[in-house]
Amino acid sequence: MLIGILTVELFIPDSHSLKEKRAVVKGLKERIRHRFNVSVAETDYHELWQRAEVKFLMGSMSKKILDSTFDSIVNFIANANNGSVLGNYSIEVI
């Protein structure tokens, strides 16, 4: 069994409060969780209004499936029209 971790940095330039940031991040997390069946957690920058780090976790028997799913998630975030901008991201397979 392989475990894949996708770490994504998000920028939310139109956010003016933590409440606005949470609304954007929560909506994105929920849509991705249901669409791709992955575990999701906001892991850093909790105190910043315009920045978030979100990690996605998935288990699979195939690295190809992990890579394909994570590429789809990155594309989904990049094309999401929710006020967030995709920053750096990394994929780790254990």
pLDDT at 83: 87
pLDDT at 81: 86
Is residue 47 within 8 Å of 17, Cβ to Cβ? no
pLDDT at 53: 97
Task: List pLDDT tens digits, range 74-84.
Answer: 999 999 988 89
Is residue 4 within 8 Å of 92, Cβ to Cβ? yes
Q: Which residue has the tokens 């994929």?
A: 91
Task: List pLDDT tens digits, range 8-56.
Answer: 999 999 999 999 999 999 999 999 999 999 999 999 999 999 999 999 9
Domains within the chain, CATH numbers bracketed: 2-93 (3.30.70.1120)
In what side-by-side order are the strands of the sheet with 2-11? 39-44, 51-60, 2-11, 85-93
